[in-house]
């Protein structure tokens, strides 16, 4: 038991991300639509909590490849 407690205290950021990914996989079961819906719901909750507005990006003027030609 003590070994488990010590290993939980020494989690790296990579371990943290792995735990979150495993939890999302359990919840969404690999379904990308469910994952996207959950992400949108979470983003909306934080927007409301932080009082942020949704800002539309400016329209793009067309495709440019950056070569200047």
Q: Which two tokens stand for residue 39?
A: 């992400």
Q: Which two tokens stand for residue 57?
A: 């990006």
Q: How many structural domains is the chain composed of?
A: 1
Q: Is residue 59 part of a domain?
A: no
Q: Which residue has the higher pLDDT, 28 or 6?
A: 28
Q: Is residue 16 part of a domain?
A: yes
Q: Is residue 19 part of a domain?
A: yes
Q: Is residue 44 part of a domain?
A: yes
* Residue 44: domain span: 8-49
Q: Is residue 58 part of a domain?
A: no
Q: Residue 6: which pLDDT band, with cuts at 50, 70 and 90?
A: low
The DSSP-derived string for 30-54 is: T-HHHHHHHHHHHHHHHHHHHTPPP
Amino acid 2: pLDDT: 45
Q: Which residue has the higher pLDDT, 9 or 25?
A: 25
């Amino acid at each position: 038991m003590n070994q488990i407690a010590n290993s939980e205290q020494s989690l790296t950021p990579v371990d943290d991300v792995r735990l979150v990914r495993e939890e999302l996989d359990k919840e969404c079961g690999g379904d990308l639509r469910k994952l996207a819906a959950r992400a949108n719901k979470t983003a909306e909750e934080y927007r409301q909590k932080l009082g942020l507005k949704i800002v539309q990006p400016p329209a793009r003027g067309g495709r440019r490849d950056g070569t200047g030609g």
